[in-house]
C-alpha cells in the first residue's frame, strides 16, 4: 500500500520513523512519502519536505511565519494528490495536519491520525472537527480514550512510543568517563527543550542557579539540529558538561533533572529521575494560553497521573529562589524522592501495553484491509 505521512517536528519524526519500521515489517510492499525528518528517511520514507522548514511554535511565531506555512500547505496538498496514497497518516502537529485532514476527507482519501492534537487541553470543541475529518484516531495517552468517547468517538489507545524508545536503550558504561563526569557527585540534567524560543527563555534561568551548587555536576542535553549559540550561556559555563544528542544516557546517570515542559518530562519519569518541570513563554502567548487552556497541569507526568507528581514552575512562579528550593528537595529529601519514584512506577505500568508503533501499524493495516 501507499502511505503519505506528515510529521512537522522532531518528536513526530521520531515516532514516524518507528511507525514506518513497523509498517514495513507488516507490509513488505509499502511505499512511503511525506513530510518528516532524518529518522523517517532512514526507515525508507521519501521526504517531500524536512520538518526543519516547519518547526514553528507559539502563537506569535506562527503568525510571523504564516506565509511559509501557507505555502507549505499548498505544496503538501498538491503532493498528496500526485502521490495518490491509500491513506494519509497525520502525526501530531495539529495546526497544519488538521487543515490537511479537512482537505483529504472530501476527496475520498482515508485519513488516520496517530498522536492527535491535544484538543483535551484547549479548544475541546475541535474534537467534533476531528470526528468529521478523520477515519481513525490512535492515541498514546490513556485518558484520551475516555475524552473522545464523550464526543461519540471510539479511538484506539496503542501505548506510548516514548516508552518504546526508553526500553530499547542499551546502557553505555563509558558515558561518565567520556564526558568527564564523576560517579561520586550528583549529576543534574538540564533539558532546556527542543525549540529555539524555549532555549532562549529557559537557559538563562538554568545558568543562574548553577553557582549555588558548587558540589554538584550539571550537564545540558543539547541537540545537534539546533545552533550551538542557542545554548549560551550554558555552553560557555566551565561547570556545565556538554552532552550532544545523548539525552537518554544522561538521564540514566542523573540524580535529578530540570526539564522544560514537553515530552521530555515523560522521558525523564520513565528513567526514574526526580525532576522539576519549568516553562516560560512570551507575555502575549501566555495570556492567550491561559485564556484557552482547560487542564490543571502542563507536564505529561501530571496529566497522565491526574494529579501533581512533579512540581511545575511556570512563568512568574519560575524564579531563581523557587528553582533552587525545589532542586534541593529533589536531591536531598529522600522521602520526597521516594514518593515521586513510586508515582513514576505507577505511570510506567499504565503505559506499558506493548509497542505503540507495532500496535498502531497492525491496527492501521487491519482497517485498511477491512
- The pLDDT, as a whole number, for residue 55 is 55
Same domain? 202 vs 319: yes
Residue indicated by cell numbers 506569535: 60
> Which pLDDT belongs to residue 315?
87
Is 90 exceeded by the pLDDT of residue 265?
Answer: yes
Q: Is the pLDDT of residue 313 over 90?
A: yes
Q: How many domains does the chain have?
A: 2
Residue 321 and residue 205 in one domain:
yes
pLDDT in tens, 71-107: 999 999 999 999 999 999 999 988 899 999 999 999 9
How far, in Å, CA of 181 to CA of 342, rounded?
27
Residue 293 phi, psi dihedral angles, 5° rounding: -65, 135
If asked whether residues 139 and 176 sit together in one domain, one would say: no
* Average pLDDT of the residues in 120-132: 82
How far CA 96 is from CA of 93, 161, 318, in Å, comes to 6, 22, 31
Question: Is residue 182 located within the same domain as residue 317?
Answer: yes
What pTM does this model have? 0.83
Distance CA 252, CA 250 (A): 5
The parent domain of residue 39 ranges over: 2-159+353-369
User: Which of the residue ranges 95-99, 125-129, 187-191 has the most confident prediction, judged by mean pLDDT?
Assistant: 187-191
| pLDDT at residue number 194 | 85
Q: Say if residue 361 is in the same domain as residue 232.
A: no
* 288 and 314 housed in the same domain: yes
Find out whether 188 and 276 touch, Cβ atoms under 8 Å: no
User: Helix axis angle, 263-270 relative to 334-351, nearest 10°?
Assistant: 100
Same domain, yes or no: 70 and 193: no
- pLDDT value at position 280? 87
Residues in CB range of 196: below 8 A, 6 or more apart: 226, 230
Least confident of 4-13, 16-25, 116-125, 246-255: 116-125
Highest mean pLDDT among 63-77, 245-259, 291-305: 245-259
Give the CATH number for residue 283: 3.40.50.2000
Whose cell is 560557555? That residue is 236
| pLDDT at residue 58 greater than cutoff 70 | no
Report whether pLDDT(62) > 50.
Answer: no
The predicted structure's pLDDT at residue 364: 98
- Examine the domain organization and report whether 119 and 253 are in the same domain: no
Q: Are residues 257 and 358 in the same domain?
A: no
pLDDT the model gives residue 57: 45
The sheet with strand 240-244 has its strands ordered as 240-244, 217-222, 187-191, 256-260, 275-279, 311-314
Amino acid at each position: 500500500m501507499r502511505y503519505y505521512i506528515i510529521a512537522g517536528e522532531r518528536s513526530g519524526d521520531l515516532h514516524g520513523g518507528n511507525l514506518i519500521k513497523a509498517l514495513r515489517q507488516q507490509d513488505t510492499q509499502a511505499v512511503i512519502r511525506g513530510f518528516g525528518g532524518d529518522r523517517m528517511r532512514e526507515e525508507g520514507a521519501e521526504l517531500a519536505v524536512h520538518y526543519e522548514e516547519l518547526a514553528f511554535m507559539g502563537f506569535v511565531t506562527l503568525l510571523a511565519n504564516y506565509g511559509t506555512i501557507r505555502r507549505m500547505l499548498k505544496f503538501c496538498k498538491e503532493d498528496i494528490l500526485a502521490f495518490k496514497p491509500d491513506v494519509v497518516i497525520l502525526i501530531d502537529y495539529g495546526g497544519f495536519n488538521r487543515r490537511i485532514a479537512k482537505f483529504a476527507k472530501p476527496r475520498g482519501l482515508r485519513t488516520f491520525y496517530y498522536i492527535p492534537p491535544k484538543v483535551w487541553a484547549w479548544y475541546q470543541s475541535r474534537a467534533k472537527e476531528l470526528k468529521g475529518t478523520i477515519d481513525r484516531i490512535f492515541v498514546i495517552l490513556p485518558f484520551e480514550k475516555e475524552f473522545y468517547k464523550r464526543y461519540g468517538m471510539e479511538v484506539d489507545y496503542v501505548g506510548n512510543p516514548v516508552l518504546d524508545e526508553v526500553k530499547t536503550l542499551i546502557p553505555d558504561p563509558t558515558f561518565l568517563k567520556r564526558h568527564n563526569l564523576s560517579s561520586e557527585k550528583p549529576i543534574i540534567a538540564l533539558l532546556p527543550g527542543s525549540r529555539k524560543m524555549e532555549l532562549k527563555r529557559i537557559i538563562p534561568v538554568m545558568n543562574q542557579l548553577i553557582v549555588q551548587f558548587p558540589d554538584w555536576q550539571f550537564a545540558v542535553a543539547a541537540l545537534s539540529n539546533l545552533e550551538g549559540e542557542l545554548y549560551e550561556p550554558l555552553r560557555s559555563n566551565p561547570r556545565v558538561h556538554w552532552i550532544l544528542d545523548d539525552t537518554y544516557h544522561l538521564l540514566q546517570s542523573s540524580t535529578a533533572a530540570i526539564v522544560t515542559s514537553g515530552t521530555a518530562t515523560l522521558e525523564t519519569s520513565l528513567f526514574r529521575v526526580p525532576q522539576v518541570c519549568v516553562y516560560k513563554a512570551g507575555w502575549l502567548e501566555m495570556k492567550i494560553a491561559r485564556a484557552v487552556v482547560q487542564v490543571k497541569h502542563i507536564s505529561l507526568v501530571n496529566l497522565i497521573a491526574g494529579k501533581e507528581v512533579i512540581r511545575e514552575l511556570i512563568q512568574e512562579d519560575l524564579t531563581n529562589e523557587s528553582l533552587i528550593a525545589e532542586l534541593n528537595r529533589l536531591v536531598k529529601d529522600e522521602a520526597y524522592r521516594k514518593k515521586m519514584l513510586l508515582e513514576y512506577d505507577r505511570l510506567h505500568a499504565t503505559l506499558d501495553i506493548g509497542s505503540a508503533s507495532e500496535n498502531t501499524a497492525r491496527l492501521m493495516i487491519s482497517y485498511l484491509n477491512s
